[in-house]
Amino acid sequence: MRLVQSFAFAAVLLLSSALSAAAHSAREDIEAALVKFMDAFNSGNAAAVGQMYTDDAALLPPDGKRVDDRKGVEEFWQAQSRPG
């Protein structure tokens, strides 16, 4: 869960720099995507989380190894949602 909080915190920092009207719209889109992500993650639906990434996605978790492609990202988030 700490990892998810780190990603969420990073997203909030990025959002706080939005100043223009276009940035405001982008901020709303990012906030909606974050809510969708958290709902999918919290429900344990790694497939739904994985669908938010492109086929050639790369995930760079803090203090972890790079994870490539949608399937790898999905497996990463599945492992993060397991209790333990």
Chain centre to alpha carbon of residue 77: 9
Q: What is the pTM of this model?
A: 0.62
SS3 79: helix
CB 40 within 8 A of CB 49: yes
User: What is residue 44's predicted lDDT score, i.e. its pLDDT?
Assistant: 87
Structure-token pair, residue 33: 């995507």
Q: How confident is the model at residue 11 (pLDDT cuts 50, 70, 90)?
A: low
Closest CA to 2 of 63, 69, 65, 68: 63
Report pLDDT digits (tens) over 16-75.
Answer: 554 455 666 888 899 999 999 999 988 989 889 989 999 999 999 998 999 999 999 999
Q: What is the pLDDT of residue 18?
A: 45
